[in-house]
Amino acid sequence: MLTVRGLRHAYDGRGVLSIDDWSVAQGEASLVLGPSGSGKSTLLGILAGLLSPTEGEVTVADARVSALDARGRDRFRARSVGIVLQKLHLINVLSVRANLGIARRLAELPDDPAHVDRTLEALGIGALAARRASSLSVGEAQRVAIARAVVNRPRVILADEPTAALDDANCDKALALLLEQAAACEATLVVATHDRRVADRFTRRITL
Amino acid sequence: MSVFRLALAYLAARPLLTALHVILLALGTATLVVLILFTEQAERKLQGDARPVDLVVGAKGSPLQLILSSVLHVDVPTGNIPYAAARSIGSDPMVRSATPLSLGDSHRGARIVGTDASFFELYGLTLAQGSAFKDEMEAVVGAQVAARLGLAVGAQFTGSHGLAETGAAHGDHPYRVVGVLAPTGTVVDRLILTSIESVWEVHGSHGTVAPEAREITALLVRYRSPLAAAMLPRRINAMTSMQAASPAYEGARLMSLVGVGVDALRVFAGVLMACAALSIFIALTTALQERARDLALLRTLGAPPAKLLALIAAEGMTLVGAGAILGLALGHAAAEAIGRWLAASQSWSVTGLAWEPSEAILLALIAAVGAATCAIPAIQAYARDPATVLLEQ
């Protein structure tokens, strides 16, 4: 469950985000649509506990994120949130397996290479486990980023422009994978995008 | 994947740069380690060799040369002094013991020292084999000489004139080994001891020269009371044709003379260390810029700021630790190699197989400099705003 009430956010006094009331049920998928600069990334940052809202109340996966202290937000993010970023951001000096392992480590979950490998297998990239992240193609890296987002079985998955750099075929595959993995985790999925190709796949949406 | 393993992964991803930083720090550390090993071992050895002797009386000349030749046995003597005059000093009430030395010959690089039984008492010598010399042409060899030249009780050898191995041999006057000294860790290990009469015999003065005209090289004196230190050297220097030199004073002077060179090397090593610290600082600062997104990503994955601080600090301190350990190993290996070379030339012995307490201070200093070097980049990583990765992509 994800609930936003009376949310306002401003940078240097300039308002960039305003949502009066918005909620997404646990396990549902929702789209956040809007042009560049409309506050989509800011909203995801607030949902992930990376930013503190100027005003309002945000509850994500039973946690009042807007009321957590810095350490609490870090812990919440590590345990309850999976994030997929537009530019993927894998740690290039590490192997694919280690990129997933570090997410588990930061969530203070036990090292479990078998679970990591199962997650990679589920996304059809088991063969990439030992490869260095720097050697992956964009499509492969996209799948690894999604695998990292779901490896801790988060309560909510936040994806920021996950298809912006992809062609139509890869865009469809990435979306299908995200929806499939979110459903497998029973996680709430929020995708922020300005990409109209994505719109048809979601029944719930909010436009900023 | 721990923070330390992640730091190692970053270092391993740029092996050449990592190796250069480590080597630079290792060279500075190694230079300082060699200096520590040499100066501290040399000072201790100097003090150990000179400790039993309060005063050396010899021919006029350089007092330092007199100490180097008669106590440390690394230089040529300043000349000879009349035996009768030396004996009169020995009978002075301020003198507890006076040990005559007659130098000038050697056997394959080992100095032959003509002396008497008081030498054994002066240095607290014990025999590992055989007995002390009693008759002419009997010799007792130091532990190192016995091992190096294979001289055991019953062996015979001849001396050669001078202190180099190329001097003319006294082939008609062979010595017979009657004893081997137990190791002392002092200069005595490198000496061959015999009676003064044997040295006179070899040089043809025994029996041909009147007793009052006989000469020795030096007299090693121990004081009966501290008062003697103030009076005896002054009296000898002012009222006789001989000179008196204090091993403690000349030893300190020697170390201060050597110290000028040591200080210059210390400055050089310090510059190397500063360069190494600067290179690590640059490496970390550059890494921080190159890895801005990685660090922010770690924050989005839930890493607390302290973990980023630990990551950068671990990376820097791994370089510092590797450089320090490699430097220690290089320093000790170099000291051991130089020590073996010096031992072969019979002039000095330094070992790299020993640990000096000052090295712990050096390591603490390196750790402190390393920590200071890592601090600024690590704090910058700590203060990084995690939202930037999301908002600036």
Digits of tens for pLDDT over chain A (208 positions)? Answer: 899 999 999 988 888 899 999 999 999 999 999 888 888 888 999 999 988 899 999 999 888 988 889 889 999 999 999 999 877 689 999 999 999 999 999 999 988 899 999 999 988 899 999 999 999 998 899 889 999 999 999 999 999 888 877 778 778 888 888 898 899 889 999 999 888 888 878 888 888 7
Regarding whether B208 and B277 lie in a shared domain, the answer is: no
**Which of these three, B213, B245, B277, is where a domain ends?**
B245
Report the pLDDT value the prediction gives residue B178, as an integer from 0 to 100: 97
| Domain assignment of residue B69, yes or no | yes
**What distances in angstroms separate CA A26 from CA A188, B81, B248, B369, one per listed residue?**
5, 107, 87, 53
- What distance in Å separates residue B32's CA from the closest CA in chain A? 35
CA-nearest of A199, A120, A190 to A156 is: A190
- Cβ contacts of B329 within 8 Å, gap of 6 or more: none
Report the pLDDT value the prediction gives residue A172, as an integer from 0 to 100: 84
CB-side neighbour CA atoms (13 Å) of B334? 18
CA-nearest of A8, A69, A80, A30 to A205 is: A30
Separation between Cα atoms, residue B357 and residue A93, nearest integer Å: 40
B338-350: b or e for each residue (b if 16 or more CB lie within 10 Å)?
Answer: bbeeebeebebbb
Separation between Cα atoms, residue B29 and residue B325, nearest integer Å: 9
| Pick among A68, A106, A160 to test the B interface (most B CBs inside 10 A) | A106
Separation between Cα atoms, residue B314 and residue B327, nearest integer Å: 19
Strand partners, B245: B56
Report the residue count for chain B: 393
Residues 295 through 314 of chain B touching chain A, CB cutoff 8 Å: 297-305, 307
Cα radius of gyration (chain B): 30
CB of B277 closer than 8 Å to CB of B373: yes
Regarding whether B356 and B301 lie in a shared domain, the answer is: yes
**Which of these three, B245, B268, B291, is where a domain ends?**
B245
A147-160: b or e for each residue (b if 16 or more CB lie within 10 Å)?
Answer: bbbbbbbbbbbbbb
Regarding whether B234 and B124 lie in a shared domain, the answer is: yes
Angle at B262 between CA B35 and CA B317, to 5 degrees: 45
Angle at B219 between CA B218 and CA B224, to 5 degrees: 160
CA-nearest of B237, B247, B217 to B50 is: B247
Separation between Cα atoms, residue A56 and residue A17, nearest integer Å: 11
Report the pLDDT value the prediction gives residue A104, as an integer from 0 to 100: 93
Q: Give yes or no for A190 touching B (CB within 8 A).
A: no
Regarding whether B281 and B170 lie in a shared domain, the answer is: no
Look up the ipTM and state it.
0.88
Strand partners, B340: none
| Domain assignment of residue B254, yes or no | no
Domain count, chain B: 2
Separation between Cα atoms, residue B87 and residue B283, nearest integer Å: 71
Give A95's DSSP letter: B
Separation between Cα atoms, residue A5 and residue A20, nearest integer Å: 5
Q: Give yes or no for B15 touching A (CB within 8 A).
A: no
Per DSSP, helices labelled H in chain B are 3-12, 15-50, 63-70, 83-90, 118-123, 143-149, 196-202, 227-239, 247-290, 292-300, 305-344, 357-382, 387-391
- Taking the alpha carbons at both ends of chain B, their separation in whole angstroms is 26
- Cβ contacts of B242 within 8 Å, gap of 6 or more: B57, B58, B59, B60, B81, B85, B86, B236
**CB-CB under 8 Å, A101 with B304:** no
Domain hosting B301: range is 3-46+259-391
CB of A55 closer than 8 Å to CB of A8: yes
The secondary structure of B4-46 as a DSSP string is HHHHHHHHHTSHHHHHHHHHHHHHHHHHHHHHHHHHHHHHHHH
Regarding whether B220 and B96 lie in a shared domain, the answer is: yes
| Domain assignment of residue B13, yes or no | yes
Report the pLDDT value the prediction gives residue B107, as an integer from 0 to 100: 92
| Pick among A92, A108, A148, A158 to test the B interface (most B CBs inside 10 A) | A92
| Domain assignment of residue B215, yes or no | yes
Q: What is the dihedral of CA B162, B131, B154, B107, to 10 degrees?
A: -10
Question: What type of residue is B263?
Answer: D
Angle, in degrees to the nearest 10, between helices A113-122 and A138-150:
130
Report the pLDDT value the prediction gives residue A194, as an integer from 0 to 100: 85
Instruction: Characterize the bridge pairing of strands A188-193 and A29-33.
Output: parallel
Regarding whether B86 and B69 lie in a shared domain, the answer is: yes
- What distance in Å separates residue A145's CA from the closest CA in chain B? 12
- Residues of chain B falling short of pLDDT 50: none
| Domain assignment of residue B117, yes or no | yes
- Match 């801005």 to its residue by tokens: B292
**Which of these three, B215, B245, B275, is where a domain ends?**
B245
Report the residue count for chain A: 208
Regarding whether B32 and B63 lie in a shared domain, the answer is: no
**Cα A17 versus chain centre, distance:** 19
Q: Which residues of A touch B287 (CB under 8 A)?
A: none
Report the pLDDT value the prediction gives residue B95, as an integer from 0 to 100: 95
| Domain assignment of residue B16, yes or no | yes
Separation between Cα atoms, residue B140 and residue B70, nearest integer Å: 18
Regarding whether B216 and B268 lie in a shared domain, the answer is: no
What's the maximum distance between 2 C-alpha atoms anywhere in chain A?
A: 50
- What distance in Å separates residue A28's CA from the closest CA in chain B? 22
| Domain assignment of residue B250, yes or no | no
Report the pLDDT value the prediction gives residue B204, as an integer from 0 to 100: 72
Question: What type of residue is A106?
Answer: L
Regarding whether B178 and B152 lie in a shared domain, the answer is: yes
**CB-CB under 8 Å, B301 with A83:** yes
Strand partners, A81: A156
Regarding whether B161 and B206 lie in a shared domain, the answer is: yes
- What distance in Å separates residue A124's CA from the closest CA in chain B? 23
Separation between Cα atoms, residue B10 and residue B5, nearest integer Å: 9
Q: Which residues of A touch B1 (CB under 8 A)?
A: 94, 98, 101-102, 105
Residue A23: phi and psi, rounded to 5, are -145, 150
Report the pLDDT value the prediction gives residue B264, as an integer from 0 to 100: 84
The secondary structure of B347-379 as a DSSP string is S----SSS--HHHHHHHHHHHHHHHHHHHHHHH
CA-nearest of B243, B372, B383, B177 to B299 is: B383
| Domain assignment of residue B346, yes or no | yes
**Domains of chain A, CATH where assigned:** 27-45+70-203 (3.40.50.300)
Regarding whether B215 and B84 lie in a shared domain, the answer is: yes
Regarding whether B283 and B193 lie in a shared domain, the answer is: no
Please tell me whether the overall predicted TM-score, pTM, comes out greater than 0.90 for this model. no
CA-nearest of B10, B17, B21 to B323 is: B21
